[in-house]
Amino acid sequence: MTRKLFWQNPYQIELTSKVDVIDGNKIELAETIFYAESGGQESDVGTIAGIPVIHAEKSGKRLVYTLESSPSFQVGDDVQTLIDWQRRYALMKLHFAAEVVLVLFTQFHPNIKKIGAHISANKSRIDFVSTENIKPLLANIAIHAQQLLDAQLPIESAFSNEIEERRFWKVEGFSQVPCGGTHLRNTSEVGQINLTRSNLGKGKERVEITIL
């Protein structure tokens, strides 16, 4: 099992850790700050021992990193991981913003169901099943979302089941949401958001969230 320090401190961008496994140009570390795509949130970008990571994936409770080239280091060696902080921070902001929007849709329009989501470094999106154009709903959702973000509320992030690695984030008085992503400390870190709608075809609607 890889010890996932990005949950303990998602603001950490540099780490020295031991190499547990090497298989060609794929490696595993004893502990890591390098997030691998999960729950719709894209992977971090960065280097391990100065070698760019071209792919990061979950394998059970392990994280496997594919390097751009075969490493010269050995199992048991200490290597340095560096991640792109600007990308990580953008993902954290857009992930939280998307989940706030989803919570509000669930509260105000429970019959509109989510069917997908994706968080990248420049926008996040949520896909819904809906027979109606949801554009008229967005102004009210955006107002309530921005009010929460501007309220400077602390965000708690913790395990609901540490053995199974199930986690959640919580804002007191708003919601508690199961999520294993990397999360902010305070709602105010997101800033100003913008919501737009697009149609994916009959019965499917998409909301895109960007930060202004």
Rounded Cα–Cα distance for residues 180 and 166 (Å): 7
Q: What is the DSSP letter of 36?
A: -
Structural domain including 8 reads 3-83
Same domain, 54 and 100: no
- My answer on whether 118 and 195 are in the same domain is yes
Examine the pLDDT at 199 and tell me if it is beyond 90.
Answer: no
Does 105 share its domain with 164? yes
Could you tell me the pLDDT band of residue 1, with boundaries at 50, 70 and 90?
A: confident
- Matching residue, tokens 């949401």: 177
Residue range 55-111, pLDDT digits in tens: 999 999 999 999 999 999 999 999 999 999 999 999 999 999 999 999 999 999 999
| C-alpha–C-alpha distance, residues 89 and 72, integer Å | 31
**94: exposed, middle or buried (C-beta count within 10 Å: 0-12, 13-18, 19+)?**
buried
pLDDT tens track for 114-165: 999 999 999 999 999 998 899 999 999 999 999 999 999 999 999 999 999 9
pLDDT value of residue 39: 85
Where is the domain boundary, 21, 56, 83? Answer: 83
Question: Is the domain of 75 the same as that of 137?
Answer: no
**142 and 207 inside one domain:** yes
What are the residues whose beta carbons fall under 8 Å from the beta carbon of 179, sequence distance 6 or more?
A: 39, 95, 99, 167, 168, 169
Among 180, 210, 182, which residue's Cα sits nearest to residue 197?
Answer: 210
Instruction: Tally the domains of the chain.
Output: 2
Last residue of a domain, one of 83, 103, 135: 83
Instruction: Name which residue leads in pLDDT, 31 or 198.
Output: 31
Backbone angles phi, psi at 55, to 5 degrees: -160, 140
**Measured between alpha carbons, how far is 84 from 138 in angstroms, rounded to an integer?**
32
Same domain, 148 and 111: yes
Residues 77 and 93 in one domain: no
CATH (domain of 25): 2.40.30.130
What are the pLDDT digits (tens) for 6-58? 999 999 999 999 999 999 999 999 999 999 999 899 999 999 999 999 999 99
Which residues are 31's β-sheet partners?
3
Please check whether residues 103 and 195 belong to one and the same domain.
yes
**Do 106 and 189 fall within a single domain?**
yes
Q: Give yes or no: residues 98 and 127 share one domain.
A: yes
Size of the chain in residues: 212
Domain co-membership, 79 together with 106: no
Do residues 113 and 197 both lie within one domain?
yes
Residue 115: exposure state from Cβ atoms within 10 A (0-12, 13-18, ≥19): middle
**End position of a domain, from candidates 61, 83, 105:** 83
* 187: helix, strand or coil: helix
pLDDT of residue 200: 82
**Nearest CA to 159 among 187, 134, 183?**
183
What CATH number should be reported for the domain holding residue 184? 3.30.980.10
